[in-house]
Amino acid sequence: MKLLAALLAIVSVHPLGRSWQGRPITAYEVGNPNGTPVLVVGCIHGNEQAGIAIARALEHVAPADLDLWIVPVLNPDGVAHDTRANAHGVDLNRNFPWHWRPMTGVFASGPRPLSEREARIAHALILRLHPHLTVWFHQHRDMVWASGGNRRIEKVFARVSGLPYHPMPQLAGSAISWQNNALPGTTAFAAELPAGPATQIPRYVRAVLAAARTP
């Protein structure tokens, strides 16, 4: 029965493209294609991998009211090498267009906005989906990093997940700041998990669904 539910839960698999080193980047769509669009990205910083297990768990829910898109890994080269950055040494979360500026070192922002394949893939997907809610999993600050989205939605996620809620600054070049500014009326935030492998995965699944259903 559980297996049957899991099989029924998969609506479709969308190959989005490949990383610089040729690794596939894939989205899984579950639920109702006519429902509220929601996006979850399990891992953008390759050395922050705890969200991948939560993303995988979300592939097995079948919300009748949500069009739930899941990208378990946006930065597969970073995961392969256990690095924050992609294979070009760029922090993908500083490569988005909102207030992009040149940065080097750990926050290297790339030669120009959307210079990186992986960032372009996410950018195109987000413009196509126009998600009501996007949850980006990070580590390991143990908080909801709320910066520019709908606070009611962010606080629902915080309450259900147990992650403390923190209003934080918007970040130049971040995916979340780009979304919250470029797509008014939508909400994106970072779920900063604690260090180590994910625990309480069902609780995060419930938190995503509860936040997604908050108008």
Least distance to Zn ion from the beta carbon of 50, Å?
A: 11
Backbone angles phi, psi at 171, to 5 degrees: -115, 130
Count of residues in contact with Zn ion, rule CB under 5 A: 3
**Of residues 210, 213, 209, 215, the one with CA closest to residue 57:** 209
Q: Which stretch binds Zn ion (CB under 5 A): 9-17, 37-45, 158-166, 203-211?
A: 37-45
Least distance to Zn ion from the beta carbon of 173, Å?
A: 13
Closer to Zn ion by Cβ: residue 52 or 62: 52
124-143 residues in contact with Zn ion (CB under 5 A) are 138
Q: Does residue 48 touch Zn ion according to CB under 5 A? A: yes
- CA trace torsion 193, 130, 13, 94 (10° rounding): -50
Closer to Zn ion by Cβ: residue 41 or 156: 41
Closer to Zn ion by Cβ: residue 117 or 138: 138
Q: Which residue is nearest to Zn ion (CB)?
A: 138
Closer to Zn ion by Cβ: residue 36 or 47: 47
Binding Zn ion (rule: CB under 5 A), the pick from 30, 37, 43, 45 is: 45
Closer to Zn ion by Cβ: residue 45 or 94: 45
Least distance to Zn ion from the beta carbon of 45, Å?
A: 4
Residues in the chain: 215
Least distance to Zn ion from the beta carbon of 139, Å?
A: 6
133 touches 39 (CB < 8 A): yes
139 touches 194 (CB < 8 A): yes
Residues 1 and 19: their CA atoms lie apart, in Å, by 36
Please give the order of strands across the beta sheet that includes 143-146.
10-18, 24-31, 66-71, 36-41, 133-139, 187-193, 143-146, 165-167
Which residues lie near Zn ion (CB under 5 A)? 45, 48, 138
